[in-house]
């Protein structure tokens, strides 16, 4: 085939990107699930017709879906081939099976064959996080399920739309198995409409440039992304780098789960070996292979954000299947914690390994928990049941370039929190505090950002609280001599008595009555570099703002302050000259 001219190539690249961005926007604006519309927990992309490989993905999609939908598209292609399923224009498959290239059950994928002039040209697919898919707890984040059936309705790839018509029978099965079913029809239509918009835009692009030219451009763009990734990898010194990260517990057995990450860099390739990680666990903190792989892709994208995403980007990354570990879960292991929590620990293990290799480009660990909390109950005043979801952020890690930001989004997300004024409109709660988690930023030459404290009181009726969070046992890791960030804490006051979850960050079905209080403090980011080298006037400023106490300044940073809050230079010099 003739080489494609470089200018047309660039134009087609941005054209494909725009098709995906428009699908992202349309999905988000029309969706009902606040997890999709506000938290932007969704993604749209274009996939190769035979291999299912990623061609282009929206820039506004949730980061954890980097690369994941190619696995679910592949699962659809396999089913089509195995069962000789006829494909027709207007068909849309629905699938959420975690073991078939999925994440957790709540991420429901729509996969649509795209026809151009009568022939299958590619697949369009999107994922949206549904607020509920049935299962043992509202919202799906069970803290102690022991098999996937307890986590909700599992859908293999089936056609939800046939030739453009919604299959009312399949729809009825779905709606009979999930909570708050009446609004799901809105999400289903929004999710399908986004693919229809993609279809129209992609048709226009192919009309304009010709299907053959675009096909060649797709191949060329893949090769170039691979080339760009290889160039970034080549700049890392050859060697083997190790990092580790811990999940507090699996929610059932109160023992930490270890992720062992061994990254070997040779020439232009990175190899990721997770041998030595904990075995599969009983509780829902297992990860399916697609999520484990995507978490590594995501971590690398956070390190090299300028490399565009398509199948080529991942070519130079070799991931050894972590057989026999909790990072390669098989049926019927429960997996509801994989997309929100385990994925972030995997990314942290990658960061921890690479910060030794290229410290100037990396950072200490971010808070790295989605902080999922759900409260489901009955509001007697409004005579209706409700499920309230709270997500929260935490501090980011310090880096060579500066302190980490406070209340940053989860590593895998781009989701904003719901305003307190909105939550209080919908649910019978009154927030008493939403404040900076003082002292939580990991001390360092560049300190971590701070987590959040929030506290609310149930005003009416009864409810049950469940949570899947993490970093309750170990704070986010410091790097290059920096200290760990502050840990996640949950405190509940029931009938005047204090209750703390035995697993610290995971619990389920905690009964609440009117007047009871839920209080959460989220983790701060890890510190970067020796805190005793932090500029003393910055420490004094941080104390003046109440970020740290005077004692913390003394003990952690080796900075002594005078009564007026200014740095006592002589005492500070003495302290810093002594042993740490």
Taking each helix axis from N to C terminus, what angle separates 289-303 and 343-357, rounded to the nearest 10 degrees? 40
Among 306, 360, 563, 564, binds other proteins (CB under 8 A): 306
| 8 A C-beta contact, residue 576 and residue 567 | no
Give the range of 79-87, 109-117, 132-140, 407-415 binding other proteins by CB under 8 A. Answer: 407-415
Among 172, 500, 546, 562, binds other proteins (CB under 8 A): 546
Q: Which residue has the tokens 């170039």?
A: 224
Site mask for other proteins (CB under 8 A), range 174-203, x = bound = --------xx-xx--xx--x--x----x--
Q: Of the two residues 244 and 424, which places its CB atom closer to other proteins in the complex?
A: 424
433 binds other proteins (CB under 8 A): yes
Q: Of the two residues 206 and 452, which places its CB atom closer to other proteins in the complex?
A: 452
CB of 159 to other proteins, least distance (A): 20
- 227-266: contacts with other proteins (CB under 8 A): 227-228, 231-232
Q: How far apart are CA 565 and CA 238, in angstroms?
A: 47
CB of 185 to other proteins, least distance (A): 5
- 6-45: contacts with other proteins (CB under 8 A): 6-7, 9-11, 13-14, 18, 22, 25-26, 28-32, 34, 37-38
Q: What angle do CA 44, 45, 50 make, to 5 degrees?
A: 140
Q: Is 152 helix (H, G, I), strand (E, B) or coil?
A: coil
Taking each helix axis from N to C terminus, what angle separates 550-557 and 536-544, rounded to the nearest 10 degrees? 150
Give the range of 44-52, 226-234, 249-257, 336-344 binding other proteins by CB under 8 A. Answer: 226-234
- What distance separates the 2 farthest-apart alpha carbons in the chain? 81
549 binds other proteins (CB under 8 A): no
For residue 218, give Cα distances in angstroms to 114, 317, 567: 16, 20, 59
Q: Of the two residues 41 and 97, which places its CB atom closer to other proteins in the complex?
A: 41
Number of separate helices (H) and strands (E) present in the chain: 13, 20
Give the range of 99-107, 372-380, 386-394, 532-540 binding other proteins by CB under 8 A. Answer: 386-394
CB of 429 to other proteins, least distance (A): 10
CB of 233 to other proteins, least distance (A): 12
Q: In the numeric block, which tokens belong to residue 263?
A: 């990254």
Q: In the numeric block, which tokens belong to residue 184?
A: 């799901």
- Lay out the sheet containing 517-521: strands in order across: 429-437, 451-458, 517-521, 489-494, 497-499
| 8 A C-beta contact, residue 469 and residue 454 | no
Site mask for other proteins (CB under 8 A), range 365-384, x = bound = -x------------------
571 binds other proteins (CB under 8 A): no
- Lay out the sheet containing 269-273: strands in order across: 239-247, 257-266, 269-273, 317-319
* Residue (of 422, 415, 426) closest to 387 by Cα position: 426
Among 72, 127, 295, 415, binds other proteins (CB under 8 A): 415
CB of 504 to other proteins, least distance (A): 21
Among 358, 420, 538, 571, binds other proteins (CB under 8 A): 420
Q: How far apart are CA 102 and CA 147, in angstroms?
A: 16
Among 20, 46, 60, 387, binds other proteins (CB under 8 A): 60
Q: Of the two residues 154 and 184, which places its CB atom closer to other proteins in the complex?
A: 184
| 8 A C-beta contact, residue 514 and residue 430 | no
- Which one-letter DSSP state was computed for residue 399? B
CB of 485 to other proteins, least distance (A): 13
- 440-469: contacts with other proteins (CB under 8 A): 452, 455
Give the range of 45-53, 95-103, 112-120, 406-414 binding other proteins by CB under 8 A. Answer: 406-414
Taking each helix axis from N to C terminus, what angle separates 184-209 and 168-175, rounded to the nearest 10 degrees? 130
Q: How far apart are CA 9 and CA 205, in angstroms?
A: 13
- C-alpha count within 13 angstroms, C-beta hemisphere, residue 545: 13
CB of 189 to other proteins, least distance (A): 5
- 115-134: contacts with other proteins (CB under 8 A): none
Give the range of 98-106, 158-166, 170-178, 395-403 binding other proteins by CB under 8 A. Answer: 395-403
413 burial via Cβ count (<10 Å: 0-12, 13-18, 19+) = buried
Q: Of the two residues 188 and 281, which places its CB atom closer to other proteins in the complex?
A: 188
């Amino acid at each position: 085939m003739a080489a494609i001219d470089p200018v047309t190539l660039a134009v087609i690249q941005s054209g494909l990107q725009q098709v995906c961005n428009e699908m992202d926007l349309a999905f988000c604006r029309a969706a009902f699930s606040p997890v999709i519309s506000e938290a932007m927990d969704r993604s749209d992309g274009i996939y190769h017709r035979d291999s299912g490989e990623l061609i282009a993905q929206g820039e506004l999609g949730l980061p954890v879906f980097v690369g994941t939908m190619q696995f679910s598209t592949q699962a659809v292609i396999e089913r089509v081939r195995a069962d000789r399923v006829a494909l027709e224009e207007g068909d849309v498959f629905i699938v959420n099976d975690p073991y078939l290239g999925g994440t957790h059950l709540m991420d429901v994928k729509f996969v649509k064959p795209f026809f151009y002039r009568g022939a299958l040209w590619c697949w369009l697919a999107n994922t949206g996080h549904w607020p509920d898919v049935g299962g043992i707890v509202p919202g799906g984040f069970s803290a102690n399920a022991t098999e996937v059936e307890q986590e909700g309705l599992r859908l293999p790839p089936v056609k939800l739309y046939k030739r453009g018509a919604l299959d009312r029978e399949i729809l009825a099965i779905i709606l009979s198995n999930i909570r708050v079913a009446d609004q799901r029809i809105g999400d289903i239509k929004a999710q399908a409409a986004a693919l229809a918009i993609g279809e129209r835009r992609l048709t226009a692009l192919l009309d304009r440039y010709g299907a053959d030219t675009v096909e060649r451009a797709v191949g060329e763009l893949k090769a170039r992304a691979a080339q760009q990734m290889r160039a970034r990898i080549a700049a890392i010194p050859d060697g083997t780098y190790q990092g580790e990260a811990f999940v507090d517990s699996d929610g059932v057995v109160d023992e930490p789960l270890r992720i062992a990450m061994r990254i070997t860099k040779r020439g232009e390739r990175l190899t990721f070996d997770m041998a030595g990680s904990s075995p599969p666990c009983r509780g829902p903190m297992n990860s399916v292979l697609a999520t484990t792989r995507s978490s590594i892709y995501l971590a690398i994208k956070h390190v090299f954000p300028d490399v565009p995403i398509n199948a080529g980007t991942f070519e130079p990354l070799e991931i050894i299947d972590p057989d026999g570990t909790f990072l390669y879960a098989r049926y019927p292991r429960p997996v509801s914690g994989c997309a929100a929590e385990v994925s972030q620990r995997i990314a942290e293990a990658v960061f921890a390994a690479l910060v030794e290799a290229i410290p100037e480009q990396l950072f200490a660990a971010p808070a790295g928990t989605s902080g999922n909390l759900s409260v489901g109950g009955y509001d007697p005043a409004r005579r209706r049941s409700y499920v309230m979801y709270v997500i929260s952020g935490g501090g980011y890690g310090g880096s060579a370039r500066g302190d980490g930001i406070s209340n940053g989004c989860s590593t895998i997300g781009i989701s904003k929190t719901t305003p307190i004024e909105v939550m209080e409109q919908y649910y019978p709660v009154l927030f008493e505090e939403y404040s900076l988690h003082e002292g939580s930023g990991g001390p360092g030459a560049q300190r971590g950002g701070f987590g959040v404290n929030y506290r609310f009181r149930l005003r009416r009726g009864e409810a049950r609280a469940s949570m899947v969070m993490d970093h309750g046992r170990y704070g986010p890791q410091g790097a290059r001599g920096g200290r760990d960030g502050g840990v996640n804490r949950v405190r509940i006051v029931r009938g005047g008595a204090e209750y703390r979850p035995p697993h610290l960050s995971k619990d389920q079905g905690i009964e609440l009555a009117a007047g009871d209080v839920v209080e959460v403090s989220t983790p701060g980011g890890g510190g970067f570099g020796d805190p005793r080298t932090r500029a003393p006037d910055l420490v004094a400023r941080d104390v003046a703002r109440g970020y740290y106490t005077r004692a913390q300044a003394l003990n952690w940073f080796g900075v002594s302050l005078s009564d007026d809050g200014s740095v006592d230079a002589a005492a500070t010099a003495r302290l810093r000259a002594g042993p740490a």
